Amino acid sequence: MKQTLTETAYHRIRRDIIECRLAPGSSISEPMLSELLGLGKSGIRAALIRLAHEGLLLPVARQGYVVAPLTLKDARNILDLRIQLEPYAAFLAAGNVKASDFSRVREQFNSGYDLDRVDTLSDFLAANREGRRILGEASGNARLATMIIELVDSLERYLRLGLLTENRSRVFAESHDVLVSLLVAGKKEQAADLSRSQMTASREFIMEALLSQDSIQEAAITSPEQR
């Protein structure tokens, strides 16, 4: 099905925000994006409203929008929620999935990503999102599934910055395979425990990466104490 101009604008702007081509904290406007993307202002306007509703943009009166900044507090909040929700989803999903449900995710994780190629990281993160979607839906709790995907989407900019500090392909692939085996076997408690361990390790890795990398100021990440 052919995308509308609004959908095209939405996906292109969102991609540029997620991939930090539109830097956190930078100002954008309808005329600027219309010229940059070669799309009409009406489609751009509707896309910006949608992105603001999702929290990726902050409206500024009579000036346009600012790309939502990345903060350590926000990263902590997202990661802490994942630690609470995903183990519960794993507990509920155990016994409700087949290994084949995750075949495409496993294939992409095994292919990994190249630190020098943004497109491979984008594919890798898309596979991660797909795996979380399958997990959430298998839980049988639609609200939980929606919350998990919203958190994954909110975390992507932070995770992207973290994964660019070192290649974590093998870690993702190995931990994914173990979790899937527990889910398929219906081992609820073990699946939940492993998911909790994975989420905790992910939290530590991402926070450490955000605090240590040289681009932390360029990415407009500030600690709550500094604001």
List the domain boundaries for the chain: 5-67, 72-216
What whole-number distance in Å separates Cα of residue 47 and Cα of residue 51?
6
Do residues 170 and 112 touch, judged by C-beta distance below 8 A? Answer: yes
Do residues 169 and 109 touch, judged by C-beta distance below 8 A? Answer: yes
pLDDT value at residue 218: 43
Encoded tokens for 123 = 């594919």
Which of 56, 156, 53, 38 has its CA nearest to residue 9? Answer: 38
pTM over 0.85: no
Whole-number Cα distances in Å, 52 to 8, 21, 56, 60, 75: 16, 17, 6, 11, 19
pLDDT (tens place) for every residue of the chain, 227 residues total: 567 888 889 999 998 998 888 988 899 999 999 888 888 888 899 999 999 998 899 999 888 899 999 888 899 999 999 999 999 999 999 999 999 999 999 999 999 999 888 889 999 999 999 999 999 999 999 999 999 999 999 899 999 888 988 899 999 999 999 999 999 999 999 999 999 999 999 999 999 888 875 544 444 544 333 43
CATH architecture of 72-216: Up-down Bundle (1.20)
Give the domain 5-67 fold.
Answer: Arc Repressor Mutant, subunit A (1.10.10)
